[in-house]
Chain A
Amino acid sequence: MRPFGSIAFFPRALLLGATVAAFGAAPGQDAPQPTPPPAPITLVSGAGGKNYLNISFDALIAAGVSTEPDVPGLQTGGHDPAQRGFTFQNGEIVLDGAVDPYFRGQANIVLQITPEGGTTIELEEVYATTTSLPHNLQVKIGQYFSEFGRINPTHPHTWDFVDQPLVNGRMFGGDGLRSLGVRLSWLMPTPFYSEILFGVQNGHGETATSFGSTAGETQFGRPLDPGQVKSFSDFLYVPRYDASFDVGDTQTIVVGASGAFGPNGTGSAADTAIGGVDFFWKWKSARAQKGFPFVKVQAEAMARSYDAAATPLLPETTFHDHGAYAQVVWGIKPMWTVGARYDRVGGDVGDDPADPRFAPRQRAALEGTWYPTEYSKLRVQYAYDDRGGGFKDANSVWLQFEFLLGAHAAHKF
């Protein structure tokens, strides 16, 4: 699914200070003339739904310090801060628009600057969705984030924290679970919002780490080699159900359950199953200005069962692990939020105790964000990592800055 930019928040932060300062200013002396509003000009404007294609660019930059020198070992997300100092987390070019009366198309092209100074480019998502199918059906075709839970299908600039939850890193790797495929969704004819989704995607590649993954990678200490698609059982299957209810005029609840099933790269007939549940609740004032004030709570829990085929040295076995996070974000007043998140992952460590990805750990994070407008933000986050498996605890402070240019489509709720 998508995320895109939007107009979703606005700030207004300086109000208090502003009025106070205004009082301080003596009215009267040489106040400049108020800027006259633009005179009505009757010209054909260049936008306003007059384009075939919306184009936007979003940049996400982090800076900070951590007591852990091995930042990539600490931060499990591919768009998390990657080193002490500055990290270019994400530069996202989004193109979207109506293809014709039957499809909408979207491409998310992501650029990153590696700690070594090189630039990488990734065709993160490219897909079309249908717009005119009957019976409340919708099909999505292309390369897309699997619709599993709430964080996985979204892009980093929509997140409420600087980094992705630990459980997402553990289950889906740094770049999230995404692949080429097709997804059918049905909006059910219930009085409340209720949707069933079913996706079929390639199960191999570096963005399907719990499944085929790529040759040379490991999971639970086991070497992986995905092999070829030989039958329908070699695909990744991703079902999801979600439902939403309004409580009165100001509260909304969304609940969902997702699964991801497919073979993994440890050998033939070795399968992975991941199940997850998610919850979202939001309260927004009936007199919201710029969408503030609000309070939102979000939580996801996942569990994985990973069959590992026998190797010449290791027996066939099944690993089990799990993780969860819960977060609350309070939009105190226009353009200001504070939030807290608790993360936890655990379960089987696998056959390589030195792999930091599988150490049991928990993490607590606090954040504060100021949105100068809905097109920019400045965030500070503190996190304490309590890491098992012989890894040292860590304290980290990250700053994050975002700016958004152009016409970025609005995000899903």
Chain B
Amino acid sequence: MSQGLSPIAFLTRTRRPGRIGVTDILSWAWLILGTLAVLIPVVWAGLSSFKPAAEITRFPPTLLPRAAVQQTVPGFDAPLSLWTVDIDGQRREMAMVRRIGLKAQMVDPSNPGPPISVDVKNISPVQRLTIATENYTDPLTRFDFLTFLKNSVFVTFVATLLTLIVNALAAFALSKYRFRGEKAIFVLIISTLMIPLTVVMVPAYLVIVGVGLVDSLWGIIIPTVASPTGVFLLRQYMLTIPDELIEAARVDAASEFRIFWRIVLPLTAPALAVLAIFSVLWRWNDFLWPLIVLSSRENFTLQVGLNAFQGEFSVQWNYILAMTFLSLAPVTVVFLFLQKYITTGIAGTGMK
């Protein structure tokens, strides 16, 4: 039968135990190629971020961060670079004194005698694995990177905290009370899901100017706090909390706010955790809105700062990549630990 070779057969075949067919091989090839496609650009940028400035633009590039080795040789003021020299089939390491055209003058670093003239095509530089930590330390100390980092952490933390409180309060009202306009308010909130920032960014900027929050971190925190996704997620979860619990607390003369704070909120913890993860990711990665609102450098968030950096040091990829990696690291850590929450949260709500 030619079924096994049909181009789409591998998509539906279920595995038969103990037999590996063409379908399995194609499936695995797709998945492994896909994984490589995801990983290679990221890992390549990561490896490159450890390369010294002189090495990063070498072409063809080396995979691992390496740098030329230099050595001080008695009789010479400046350190000399080490090269592997091929003389009459014999290989040895020598230091280069100077290079004139196609000839290089080399000395033995341990026993410097008069320099020997060697053809440049017979020499190659000695390189060792070197990690350029200055790519990471320089931006933290010399540039404004630390300010950007502080701003991003502040925005992410405060916005997430406010998002949880404001939306939990609204979700509580919409799930545990019967009141006039309940349905209309819920529909109104959910309908804002349909209005993307890109459509209202010009007038939203006007509002920010009007309330005096332009070029301020609060100008990017406050407009994002009320979240239709958040209200929806928390309300659906709170609906599952039995009303008897709340009635019992009312019999004990607890105030409504105390019921929210002491009973409903702790029971909503799993949904709050999902919303917190989303909120952290949204705020940390936010770009267009901060780009519009923030104008002075000391207020830039990490993403806006990174974008500004790449305009300024268009050649200094070693710094740009190191900073890119510092902003990617927290997201990667969050993902490694909370991957299950995130994927089930998205599959459950269909929202990102």
On whether the two chains bind one another, the answer is no
